[in-house]
Structure 1
């Protein structure tokens, strides 16, 4: 699943090119996770003012309303001046005066949803419960501490939940906890203030580095220009079960938490 860094990398790869474009046509393929919410023809003529991100959602600000895009489990966006004809898994094409934005999604868990504004109940349902943005100025340490104190679940599960801090998905949760020296099974409410501060900084550091490296391409992720990411090549623990820790040499362990694989170093990460 594309995580926050991959979504941000996707945004950066086409936001400047589509800003100011007018929508000329819109084609919907097979149904996605949620309906568009308006007839496609209603969006023709509208202008794309810019592209923002909230968690794993991309928000295309229009001169009237917004489009919320989610890549789901296997989706990817492309933006091209001369695209190929739509294929079997191309379920959303938005032709603009500057190029065609296309959502390819083999599993169709992604979505494109129209809302009148972020205050619209449709948008609020998708965005209203999201936690703090980890790469933004509002990622406040005291508020982060307060959020963890109230949670008795394992810290990795709290990070994945997205209601304290948004966008720390499975790959990056393992990497963040390694950098912070925290065992993923440690209960969030047990973390001391110094350890919480290290975790707060580790979240910023790992996600920023992942964006810099173009995200992680484990299967088929690419940005809107078709470029793969490289963060997975420098992962410290994720996907490295039984391999030697890059810091201490201890074999990396893997466990299951909430149906997801978790990787950690039993020597470097303390309960």
Structure 2
């Protein structure tokens, strides 16, 4: 059953040094406020998993908290590269970064296998790619019915998954809607689950296409209005496109990045003002 807690306490209890941490959300509902709390608490040696690492992981990597990234694409959407990500890979700053790269289909199937409590998933993919030669989490199996050789990907079971959603009720049931990605699968695959929400309501109203995560699969819910900024929460906020554009020059320069993190994340008063 989910407890309704402060973001600080939920992160402190659920996210630990050395964890495999998934922070999912596609285009919107990206849990930035939770990532910033992780930075403030200095939780380190993390293995990050995410289908589309964007600015949220650029910030965590640049803060020196990440040792490994499991992913299928990385970039600043609509702008360009993730410069803190690139600096870590190319120059080892602020620390070397180990990579486990997959296709989108491979990552999604890894979460599905984890959520299904299966050791691996099968798909038609990776044929002609060199990715299987660079990871131990891709192999092949032969179908016992047709003899066809298929790609196999190891299940991904995060120690903790963090997502953002629009609403939770007072019992800790969560509902998200709009453009969703693999939040449900990543949550069901994890040992521990933290959900930040725009608001807590008395009753969740069913919505066409809405995804409901029941309280019994969630450990903690934290009410964090604006917790997805600079991404958006459908029905609550709009995407801050200017932020993504402004991030590019900040992230290109180590000193500018470090100054931004200190002023806007580690400084809690400034951080509270920045969430909107």
TM-score category (smaller protein): under 0.3
Higher relative helix content: 2
TM-score by length of 2: 0.25
Greater RCO, 1 or 2 (C-alpha within 8 Å, sep 6+): 2
Give the structure with higher Rg (CA). 1
